[in-house]
Structure 1
Amino acid sequence: MFAYIIMKISNSVEIFMLHQLIKNKLPGILCLLALTACTVLASALVFPAQLSDSVTNEFGYVMQIVTYSAGSEGFLFTLFVLCLGVTWTLKGDSDIIEKGAQLTVQLFFLLVLSFAGKSLLKDITQSPRPYTELLAEYQVIKSPQYFYQLDQPLKDAAIDDVESLVSSWRTMHWHGEKDYSFPSGHTIFVAICVTFFGGLMVKSKQYFACITLVTWATSVAVSRLWLGMHRPVDLYGSMTFALMLYCIVPSHLVWLDSLIKKLPPPLR
């Protein structure tokens, strides 16, 4: 009887905790679902991309800026802009220090785990990038898998061999990213941004900002397909991985509250 009561209490606590988790993170999850739906529709229009097609400088430049905004070239600037928007939203809040600290730690863990997980998954799956299929089609390499057996200079040489057939707006990115395809690091980043920042935007009723965020994230995903860097499955896998991290990483840490309370009044 006693064990039965304990089990019932335990189940009730688990249901309550699950309910609180869903309630707290549902806005971010819905934003990610919106991104997924937009990406599915866009992928049907863009993929497979004709990588040997000519590209205007204007369109190539736009694709470059979009993909850079979520890559090593510009993700810090993107984060700065998004964090600035969150700071503005919290402005005037009585417990801005506590909320800001919790959000900062949550975002930190999401980004660190996503970057580490991306690298691990690439090594495990070893999926060739789509542009290696083009290299094999033009008989520059034996097969897409063979590309990854080459050293860096030979990889660059293989890409150089199709420079006359493929726009430099694409090949310049191929030279910069010669690792494996699955999952897409750019898409993981935008998916994290959509769940984390998009969820906050929905909670503060900044719907236009949220729509803008989802639109930007979709354009990044599309740019990865257009460049020949990824397949749709890479994008969907990235979003699934980001969703798992978002659900696992806690949005509130009790120990952090205790730490903040120990700070001198001027700092809190």
Structure 2
Amino acid sequence: MKHSLSSNQYYVTLLILFFLGIMALSVFVNDIDLLSSVSVPVGFSATVLTFSAGPKGFVISLIVMLAISWKLIPTRSERVKKIVHLGLILVLGFGCKSALKQLTEIPRPYTEVLTQNLLIPQPSHFYNLSSLQKNEVIAEMGGIVSGWRTSQWQGERDYSFPSGHTIFAAVCLAFFGNIFLRNGRYLLTLAISAWAMGVAYSRLWFGMHRPIDLLGSVVFVLLIYLFADKLERLSDKILSWCLKAKLG
């Protein structure tokens, strides 16, 4: 474990700073009013940020980040290894995320708004509704809550903990931030850090998550990266197996 910590100090440092950033963010924005009016620039910016780490936009974000970092990885074989390693971490992260949501069954914050407006008796009741009923309940908030927010609520009606968007942002921050730092690209490191914080904030702003969801997600990714050496060896074995299968 000591060797893992020293050899992956950039991973660990970036994730710890992300964790501390979210803690500070939660102190300053712990009173987000989900019923407040929303300007177009604010709503659009939050939507773009959350889209960039969501089920439909994360591929675009990955392509952009890979394109930026491509020439910073010296050889073709090293690039392939990095991509396989990244893919393994993402599969592990998203797979465990889905399992944890079902295990914890914590309602999303916006269900509290639905409860306060007497549309459901309590937040947990939302998850007993059919898909159509969930849509109808959220639609009834249309005259009270900004469409920027309700459109997100319609698209994500599963449980709250952990945050898949934050897991993706944390993985990208650790993976690509490590490449940028090792190559002295500090502005790129700052840019990806700002993007990750923006994604985290957007999840709070939309009422999709609580700070503990985001913090737990970062801790989860940190635990994965503490074993990054073993994951790299596993990804090397997977790559070797694929090459042998192709040649065979």
Give the TM-score normalised by structure 1.
0.85
Letter in 2 for 1:69: S
Residue 75 (1) aligns with residue 58 (2): yes
Give the SS at the match of 1:73: coil
Which structure 2 residues correspond to residues 200-211 of structure 1 after superposition, within 5 A?
Answer: 200-211=179-190
Distance 1:171 1:26 in 2: 40
Letter in 1 for 2:56: E
- Partner in structure 2 of residue 155 of structure 1: 134
Deviation at 1:252, TM superposition (A): 4.0
Do the aligned residues in 2 keep the contact of 1:29 with 1:199 (CA within 8 Å)? no
Distance 1:202 1:107 in 2: 17
Q: Flag the 1:175–1:256 CA change in 2: closer, same or farther, 3 A.
A: closer
Distance 1:115 1:83 in 2: 19
Deviation at 1:207, TM superposition (A): 1.1
Residue correspondences, number: 244
Give the SS at the match of 1:183: coil
Distance 2:150 2:120 in 1: 16
Deviation at 1:260, TM superposition (A): 9.5
Which sits farther off after the overlay, 112-121 or 242-251?
Answer: 242-251
Give the SS at the match of 1:251: helix
- 1:186 aligned to which of 149, 155, 165: 165
In structure 1, list runs of 5 or more residues that go unmatched.
1-17, 264-268
Which structure 2 residues correspond to residues 1-268 of structure 1 after superposition, within 5 A?
Answer: 18-90=1-73, 93=74, 96-249=75-228, 250-252=231-233, 255=237
Distance 1:246 1:125 in 2: 23
Distance 1:258 1:177 in 2: 38
Q: What fraction of aligned residue pairs are identical, expressed as a percent?
A: 36
Deviation at 1:194, TM superposition (A): 0.9
